[in-house]
Amino acid sequence: MSQVRALVEALGMVVEYMNPYLPSDPVLYSATVLGILAVMGFVGWAATRRVVSVWPENLVGKTDTVLDDYLVTKEVLEPLSYLVPAIIFYNFAYTIPQFAVAIERISICVIILCGVLIFQGIINSLGEYYQTTKYADGLNIKSYLQVVKLIVWGLGIVAVVSILVNKNPVLLLSGIGAMTAVLLLIFRDTILALVASIQINSSSLFKQGDWIEVPQFGANGIVVDIALQGVKIENWDKTISVIPTHKLIESTFKNWKNMEKSGGRRIKRSIWIDMNSISLCDGEMLQKFKKFDLIKGYIEGKQVEIEEYNQMNGFDSSEIINGRSLTNIGTFRAYVEAYLKENGNISEDMMCMVRQLEPSEKGLPIQIYVFSNDTDWVRYEEIQADIFDHLLAVVPEFGLRIFQRNTDLGK
């Protein structure tokens, strides 16, 4: 500050020295002084711009801290160069008495706006630095920073207007208070977005990098940006969806992040069996099933269990319908369960279930409900396809048929 004061005093001496040589006509005098001040302001702007573009970078390069690398940026330092012309005009406004008040007010307004721009640059730099820290994954502060910038700009505009109209800023703010209803109507979306942003962060609904699905807006992809007014989602087809923040909270969405953290992704799909192909297992079928390594032990164990049960209850085993018997559909379910448990792509720590659902006109659904141990989308689809490729191919080996509606009207 002492250097700036010394520069202003030196320029004042120059102006005083040149004063006797200036035109006596008021109009020419004012134009000449304005021209001199403009030249001095331009020189001051150029010199300051040169200094702030070189000196700070050399200074921060000698430190080990990272924060100063983000603070010493063009966005933060460039407004400093506009302060010098404003200070020059403000200090020498007295040399043009006719316009002194106007020049002083405009100069102060420029200084205030430069301060707002510098503060905005600092906020943006702090936000960029925050994204490099470990806390960024847990809390996104971009919306809060935007609110701070909005408040700073609001205060700056109020201060500029109060200076230009020569009114107390407190009076202006009280007048704004009387217009609260109008402001609420104007900034309705902004207020709703702020509340939604707070809700997103406080409840950890989602954060940048999460995979979310929003059917109402046709969005399904990765969150790439969370701003005050909107959430940007990069869909899997590489298109971009921008959803208003408060609209996203009001709608139903699905966050797949927990699935990725769990290490398993659900496979839930049914095979529809033609019920006309379901039957009891005779001796020939059982001998065939014993050759299947995955269920050989199951068949032998069940045969012993069923034989003991039938003998204990005096059932005539000459007829297959008497007492208990194995069915091809039940044996197929046992095979599917054994196959899934032996599959190295299925999670052993999560649910593994093969169940019958309610029959319908499409047949009897056998549902596979398991979790793959790979959450990558491409790999997940490959695992799921491999499982059903195999199961659909082995269904006939159990004397069963896949239900498939005949769409040929000629048959």
Quick: pLDDT tens for 122-165: 888 888 888 888 777 666 677 778 778 888 888 888 888 888 87
Range name among 55-64, 163-172, 258-267 with the lowest pLDDT average: 55-64
Specify the pLDDT at position 229. 78
pLDDT band at 406 (very low <50, low <70, confident <90, very high): low
Specify the pLDDT at position 21. 54
Range name among 27-41, 57-71, 155-169, 389-403 with the lowest pLDDT average: 57-71
What is d(CA 256, CA 31) in angstroms, rounded to the nearest whole number?
68
Q: Exposed, middle or buried, 212 (CB in 10 Å: 0-12/13-18/19+)? A: buried
26-42 mean pLDDT: 75
What is d(CA 213, CA 223) in angstroms, rounded to the nearest whole number?
10
**CA distance to 67, 117, 155, 204, per residue, from 129 (Å):** 7, 18, 25, 21
7 has a pLDDT exceeding 80:
no
Residue with tokens 């003998």: 311
The answer to whether the beta carbons of residues 339 and 294 sit under 8 Å apart is yes
The overall average pLDDT reported for the chain is 81
What value does the CA radius of gyration of the chain take, rounded to a whole number of Å? 39
Query: What is the percent of the chain with per-residue pLDDT over 90, rounded to a whole number?
Result: 23
The answer to whether the beta carbons of residues 244 and 373 sit under 8 Å apart is no
Specify the pLDDT at position 197. 76
What is the torsional sign of CA 142, 146, 149, 155? negative
Specify the pLDDT at position 127. 83
Q: Which residues of 136-170 are buried (b: 16+ CB within 10 A; e: fewer)?
A: beeebbbbbbbbebeebeeebebbbebbeeeeeee
Q: Choose the most confident range, by mean pLDDT, from 7-21, 31-45, 206-220.
A: 206-220
Residue with tokens 């169940």: 355
> What residues contact residue 406 under an 8 Å CB cut-off, 6+ apart?
none
Q: Choose the most confident range, by mean pLDDT, from 8-17, 171-180, 208-217, 381-390.
A: 381-390
54 has a pLDDT exceeding 90:
no
Which pair of tokens denotes residue 198?
């707070």
pLDDT band at 410 (very low <50, low <70, confident <90, very high): very low
Query: What is the percent of the chain with per-residue pLDDT over 70, rounded to a whole number?
Result: 81
Specify the pLDDT at position 331. 94
92 has a pLDDT exceeding 90:
no
Element (H, E) at 148: helix 142-164
Amino acid at site 67 = L
Beta strands in 90-168 (DSSP E): none
319-348 mean pLDDT: 90
367-396 mean pLDDT: 93
What is d(CA 400, CA 387) in angstroms, rounded to the nearest whole number?
18
- For 74, other C-beta atoms within 10 Å of its C-beta total 11
Strands 211-214 and 219-226: antiparallel
347 has a pLDDT exceeding 80:
yes
pLDDT band at 105 (very low <50, low <70, confident <90, very high): confident
Which position has the higher pLDDT, 163 or 15?
163
Q: Exposed, middle or buried, 349 (CB in 10 Å: 0-12/13-18/19+)? A: exposed
Which position has the higher pLDDT, 26 or 278?
278
65 has a pLDDT exceeding 80:
no
Q: Mapping DSSP to helix (H, G, I), strand (E, B) and coil, where does residue 386 land?
A: helix
The answer to whether the beta carbons of residues 78 and 52 sit under 8 Å apart is yes
Specify the pLDDT at position 149. 84
332-339 mean pLDDT: 94
392 has a pLDDT exceeding 70:
yes
What DSSP line would sit under 266-319, residue for residue? EEEEEEEEPGGG--B--HHHHHHHTT-GGGHHHHHHHHHHHHHHHHHTT--TTS
Which of 304, 350, 326, 345 is CA-nearest to residue 398?
326
Element (H, E) at 255: strand 254-255
Which position has the higher pLDDT, 172 or 337?
337
What is d(CA 186, CA 403) in angstroms, rounded to the nearest whole number?
60
Q: Exposed, middle or buried, 409 (CB in 10 Å: 0-12/13-18/19+)? A: exposed
DSSP state of 363: B
| pTM score | 0.51
pLDDT band at 171 (very low <50, low <70, confident <90, very high): low
Instruction: Give me the sheet containing 240-244, strands edge to edge.
Output: 240-244, 230-235, 219-226, 211-214, 254-255
The answer to whether the beta carbons of residues 279 and 328 sit under 8 Å apart is yes
Specify the pLDDT at position 411. 45
Q: Choose the most confident range, by mean pLDDT, from 169-183, 217-231, 307-321, 384-398.
A: 384-398
178 has a pLDDT exceeding 60:
no
